[in-house]
Copies of this chain bind each other. A is one copy, B any other.
């Protein structure tokens, strides 16, 4: 597939699949992983992203991250694009990217460097060297507000850079950089802050968005995408209204709830999510009840669950 064609195919939802862990051992539940990924694809997901933050990438060992990527490629088996998350030190990111490429992933998403000290030219060099070390193309996860968008403008001309997951909720900045990066660079701009921000970012040039909600309620995420594509304002804002309580609950405790709310919701609707690993513990009763309330409002809880 040409880089330009792949870039175009990112104008959709990037489904950041969770990594299910068994309740007691917190080991990876690979059977659950298979069920989850199939659920996503059967419900319309065109891009699957293993080893994203919603996949608790940073709670996995390097070896586990590789295995998760490999398994997801096998499960997807050509039915969607696999964008494998890679990160850590530059050398480790290249190692993970090379592994993903050999395993058959279509592209990689390079996480924000975890080193607490970053300079603009150092950042550019970090991404450039990873991008150039691989044959498959890359997507940058851009989330450090201390960096200027100049780094994206410098990286955009690279052939193998096909997308930017923009995760700084500064729409002025975002709209400006989208206008300043030439169209010919074939960058697909992806809203990195999900359904809550997607309507605003879409309007400013992000033709895709990432989603964790999609693990629970893919129909709703795709309803939003379709409404955005059709400029159906009424549906956009009614869906937005519907998903807002869920996304706000995920944002609680400075985003500490981000993944555990998704997992709790999946468990409540009968999907196989299990628990989160440290440094995140299970939801308290109050937040569990809030999840139930939201799921009930969506009509996703049946009588069997005893909640409607």
**What distance in Å separates the Cβ of A213 from its nearest Cβ neighbour in chain B?**
15
Q: Which of A132-140, A217-225, A228-236, A272-280 contacts B (4 or more CB under 8 A)?
A: A272-280
Query: A56 and B115: CB pair below 8 A?
Result: yes
**How far is A89 from B19 in the complex, measured between Cα atoms in Å?**
14
Residues in B neighbouring A91, C-beta threshold 8 A: 61
- Copy total for this chain: 2
**How far is A139 from B54 in the complex, measured between Cα atoms in Å?**
29
- From known contacts A117-B258, A256-B119, infer whether A58 and B279 are also in contact, taking CB-CB under 8 Å: no
Residues in B neighbouring A276, C-beta threshold 8 A: 122
Query: A58 and B256: CB pair below 8 A?
Result: no
Please tell me if A53 contacts chain B, counting CB pairs below 8 Å.
yes
A interface, by DSSP: helix, strand, loop or mixed? loop
Query: B58 and A114: CB pair below 8 A?
Result: yes
Please tell me if A67 contacts chain B, counting CB pairs below 8 Å.
no
Partner of A90 from B92, B259, B277 at Cβ < 8 Å: B277
Query: B117 and A255: CB pair below 8 A?
Result: yes
Query: A119 and B280: CB pair below 8 A?
Result: yes
| Residue interface bits A257-272, CB-to-B below 8 A is 1, else 0 | 1111000000000000
Please tell me if A302 contacts chain B, counting CB pairs below 8 Å.
no
**How far is A257 from B116 in the complex, measured between Cα atoms in Å?**
10
Please tell me if A113 contacts chain B, counting CB pairs below 8 Å.
yes
**How far is A305 from B253 in the complex, measured between Cα atoms in Å?**
52
Query: B255 and A59: CB pair below 8 A?
Result: no
Query: B62 and A256: CB pair below 8 A?
Result: no
Chain A interface (Cβ within 8 Å of chain B)?
A: 53, 56, 58-62, 88-92, 95, 113-123, 125-126, 129, 146, 253-260, 276-281
User: Can you report 28 A-B residue pairs in the complex whose CB atoms are below 8 A from each other?
Assistant: A53-B117, A56-B115, A58-B88, A58-B89, A58-B115, A58-B116, A59-B90, A61-B91, A61-B92, A88-B88, A90-B277, A113-B278, A113-B279, A114-B114, A115-B279, A116-B258, A117-B280, A118-B253, A118-B256, A118-B280, A120-B256, A122-B256, A122-B276, A122-B278, A122-B279, A122-B280, A125-B281, A146-B256
